[in-house]
Structure formats: C-alpha cells, structure tokens
C-alpha cells in the first residue's frame, strides 16, 4: 500500500512539474495587471522620473529600478511571494530616494533653475559635449547629497552653477542668432519687405546690432542676445503683418470692414470679463478702459499670490525662528539694506556699501554695515552663508565679474576675521552685471544694482 501511495505521489509531482514547464511566462503588461504591488512600484517610478529623481538621487532611483526588474522577473516565473517582496523593497527604496531628492532639490535649487534655463535654450542639442560634461557633474553633486556629504556638495555648488550659466549664455547666443537669421529669411520669402517694410527694416537693423556687438567684444553675449531676440521678434512680426494684409486684400476689405474686424478682436479679448465692450466711445477711451480692467485683474492676482506666499512662510517657521527673522530685519535701515524672508532663509540685499569706483576694499565707512551683517549671521549659528557680489552695467562683463568677485571675497574675509564665522560656512561668488534688480538706465537703478547680497541659508 505504501509503495502504491509513493508511486501515486511521484506521478502527481511529475505531472505538476511537467505542467509548470509547459506554462508560458507572463509578459510585463500581464504582470502589471495581476500584481498590484508591482504595478504600484511601476507607477511610483514613473512619477519620480517626471520629478527629476533619476538626476537628484541617482543611486536610490537605480536601486528601485533594479527591484522592479527583479519583481517582474519573479512574477513572470510564477513566484508571487518573491515578486511582491521585491516590489515592496523597491517602493521603500524609492521613498528614500524621493526624500534625498527633496534635499538635493533644496540645496541645488539655484543650479537646477539655471540648468532648466540652459535646457530651454537648447544647450543639449547645440552644445552637446559641454552639456554632457555638466550633466555628469550634476549627478555627481546630487550623489554627494544622497550620501549625506552636504558640505562637500555646497562647496562644489558655485562651480557647477557658473558652468550652467556659461552654457546657457552660449546656447542663447548660438540658438537665438541662428533663429533670428532664419526668421528674417522666412519673412523675406513672404514678401515682408513689400508689405511690412518698416517692421522688416527694424528687424534687419537689430540683427546688424547683434553682429556688431559681438564683433566689438565677444564677451558681450548677453547684449548681443538681446538684439538677436529683438530681431527675431520683429522679423516674425513683419511676417504676421504681411499675412494679415494679404488676407484683407483677398477679402477685399473696405476701411470700415477693417475697423469692424479690429473691434471684433478686442471683443474676443474682453469676453472673459463678461462686460460689454464700449465700442461707441473713442478708440483711446476703449483701449484705456480695457487696459484698466486688465491692470485691476493683475493687481488682484499679485495681491493673492503675495498673501499666499506670506502665509506659507509664516506656517513654515517656529515662533523662535520668526523672532530671529524679525531681529535681523530690525538691524538695518532702508538706506543700508533690504531684508527678505525666504521661508527659513534670510536674504540681506545690502546696497549701502560705499566702495570707491572700481575698487573692492572694505573701508571704515563700511564697518557699521558689516557689523550689522555679522550680528545677523550670528543670529543663525547653524546656517551657512552665501555671499554674492553685483555691479551695474558700466564696464565690460569681464571686469564687472572680477570686481564683484573681489567685493564678495572681501565681505567673506571680514566675516571670518572680524566676526569669527568659520570659513567652511561661507561661499562667495561674483555675478557682475548678470543679475540686476533695477534698470541700469537711471542713476537710482544703477545704485540699486551695485550691491552685495548675503543669504543666510538655514536649510
């Protein structure tokens, strides 16, 4: 009897094994349909990728991908426990990667912003080798954050930021000039010289200005880029005018038809306001009324955004932190500096420095302001400090960059030597004329742009 039972058992096992061997493996789509945890990991991976986690926490994201591949393989082979276990491990790994990515996103926020601008300027296509090198450096920096080496990351951050800024300018110069040339050629093909000669002439003049600026000084890429952008805009405008004129001619519009068409366009713009457009009034009154309605809507939007920002900042601070921010704001007079709260951080935009023209030394007349900056920094003993120097547009780009760097370095040295702030907590960068806060066309605007900013970073 035992022999018969044993024989029967062996036959069953053989049948099961044979059946399993003949069962086809599941496809990835079938796995995602049948295994909820694996599908959840796949969804989380896609969401993380959309948020830039592969770049901001590369090691953790790669490990989560490996867990996903393991889970799919186990599910396809008919091992549900292993599949779900690998999926759960992947989800946990990805959660940790998301947390590290949030830290990278905070520490590297300025680098990320310039990186996005460089990408928008088409750097990846037009300057692929330089872009690839910087992308590799970016992932290395993010990996330092991922490994908890925050100070190392902060020390390397300025060099990467400067690299992306140079890449952005180079891409803008190359991409914008080429786009402007192409836009002018396209407008010429559409007979813009005949139908919109004034606008087309302005476009070609702006293009010549862009070229002459680069011929005079190749470091003035920003100015050349501005002229090239203007040239492209005017060329495209001349082409649009040309097409509109041709359309009027095809329809044999009278002058009254043209005015009625114009009022109809204004009515379309005014439609969201749900008010009657006063076309029975003069054109000036009509335009001014529409302008005022838009201005009021913009003011309402700005007021709402400001209230929301202030509310969010207040919620993010403890009572102790709010008191510290209030203390720093009380240290400076309006003539010395403006103090801005940026969530947990404090930005001191000090326009009250008195530097001799073209010089960077901190003289006795700056000591009072520097002492207040030291007090502000000492209010946050665990922070790290980012000092940035800025100039107006007088002088060349290169000389302004050198001058602003020297001034930022001297402010940093004063904090170390007089304020006893550890040098390891300080980063100094000169931006020259690249980041104006006001127009350089007026004396007041130029004075506002000649400043040193001290960011007390509490993150």
d(C-alpha 245, C-alpha 346), whole Å: 54
Residue with tokens 């920094």: 377
d(C-alpha 58, C-alpha 101), whole Å: 9
- In DSSP notation, 306-325 reads HHHHHHHHHHHS-HHHHHHH
- Of 360, 434, 453, nearest in space to 396 by CA: 434
Q: Which residues, including other chains, have CB under 8 Å from residue 48's CB and lie 6 or more apart?
A: 54, 61, 64, 94, 97, 98, 101
359-408: pLDDT as tens digits: 778 878 888 888 999 999 998 888 899 999 988 888 888 888 999 999 89
Please give the radius of gyration of the chain, using alpha carbons only, rounded to the nearest integer. 31
Helix spans in 252-356 (H): 255-270, 283-316, 319-331
Going by CATH, does the domain composed of 318-457 fall within 3.40.920.10? no
d(C-alpha 111, C-alpha 157), whole Å: 7
Look at residue 19 in the predicted model and tell me its pLDDT. 42
Classify burial at 127, counting beta carbons within 10 Å of its beta carbon; exposed 0-12, middle 13-18, buried 19 or more.
Answer: buried
- Of 20, 17, 12, nearest in space to 77 by CA: 20
Look at residue 8 in the predicted model and tell me its pLDDT. 40
- In DSSP notation, 92-114 reads HHHHHHHHHHHHHHHHTHHHHHH
Structure tokens at 186: 């396209």
**What DSSP state is assigned to residue 281?**
S
What are the sequence ranges of the domains in the chain? 24-107, 172-269, 270-316, 318-457
Question: Which residues of the chain register pLDDT less than 70?
Answer: 1-24, 172-173, 175, 214, 217-219, 221, 309-318, 355-358
d(C-alpha 29, C-alpha 81), whole Å: 19
262-308: pLDDT as tens digits: 999 999 998 888 888 899 999 999 999 888 888 888 888 888 877 77
d(C-alpha 445, C-alpha 439), whole Å: 5
- In DSSP notation, 53-68 reads HHHHSHHHHHHHHHHH
Q: Which residues, including other chains, have CB under 8 Å from residue 42's CB and lie 6 or more apart?
A: 32, 68
* Maximum Cα–Cα distance across the chain: 111
Look at residue 388 in the predicted model and tell me its pLDDT. 92
Q: In what order do the strands lie in the sheet with 426-430?
A: 337-342, 345-350, 451-457, 384-390, 426-430
pTM as predicted: 0.39
d(C-alpha 393, C-alpha 439), whole Å: 9
d(C-alpha 248, C-alpha 240), whole Å: 13
């Amino acid at each position: 009897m035992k022999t018969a039972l044993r024989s029967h058992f062996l036959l069953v096992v053989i049948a099961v094994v044979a059946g399993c061997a003949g069962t086809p493996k599941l496809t990835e789509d079938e796995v995602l349909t049948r295994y909820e945890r694996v599908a959840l990991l796949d969804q989380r991976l896609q969401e993380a990728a959309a948020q830039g986690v592969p770049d901001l926490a590369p090691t953790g994201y790669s490990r989560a991908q490996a867990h996903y591949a393991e889970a799919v393989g186990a599910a396809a082979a008919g091992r549900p426990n292993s599949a779900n276990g690998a999926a759960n491990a992947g989800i946990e790994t990805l959660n940790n990667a998301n947390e590290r990515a949030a830290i990278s996103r905070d520490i590297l926020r300025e680098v990320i912003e310039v990186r996005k601008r460089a990408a928008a300027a088409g750097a990846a296509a037009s300057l692929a080798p330089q872009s690839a090198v910087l992308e590799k450096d970016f992932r290395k920096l993010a990996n330092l954050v991922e490994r908890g080496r925050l100070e190392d990351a902060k020390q390397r951050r300025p060099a990467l930021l400067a690299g992306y800024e140079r890449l952005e300018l180079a891409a803008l110069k190359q991409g914008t000039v080429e786009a402007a040339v192409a836009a002018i050629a396209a407008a010429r093909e559409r007979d813009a010289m005949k139908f919109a000669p004034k606008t087309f002439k302005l476009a070609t003049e702006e293009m010549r200005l862009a070229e002459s600026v680069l011929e005079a000084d190749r470091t003035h890429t920003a100015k050349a880029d501005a002229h090239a952008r203007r040239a492209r805009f005017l060329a495209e405008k001349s082409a649009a005018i040309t097409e509109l004129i041709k359309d009027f001619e095809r329809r044999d519009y009278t002058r009254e038809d043209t005015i009625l068409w114009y009022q109809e366009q204004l009515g379309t713009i005014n439609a969201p306001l749900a008010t009657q457009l006063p076309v029975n009034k003069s054109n000036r009154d009509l335009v001014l009324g529409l302008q005022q309605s838009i201005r009021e809507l913009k003011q309402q939007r700005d007021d709402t955004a400001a209230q929301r920002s202030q509310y969010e900042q207040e919620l993010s601070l403890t009572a102790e932190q709010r008191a510290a921010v209030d203390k720093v704001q009380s240290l400076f007079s309006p003539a010395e500096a403006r103090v801005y709260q940026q969530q947990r951080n404090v930005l001191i935009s000090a326009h009250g420095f008195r530097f001799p023209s073209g010089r960077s030394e901190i003289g006795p007349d700056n000591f009072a302001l520097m002492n207040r900056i030291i007090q502000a920094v000492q209010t946050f003993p665990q922070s790290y400090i980012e000092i940035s120097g800025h100039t107006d547009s007088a002088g060349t780009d290169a000389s302004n960059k050198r001058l602003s760097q020297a001034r930022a370095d001297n402010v940093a040295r004063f904090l170390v030597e007089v304020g006893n702030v550890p040098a390891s907590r300080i980063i100094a960068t000169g931006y020259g004329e690249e980041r104006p806060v006001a127009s350089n066309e007026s004396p007041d605007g130029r004075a506002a742009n000649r400043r040193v900013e001290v960011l007390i970073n509490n993150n």
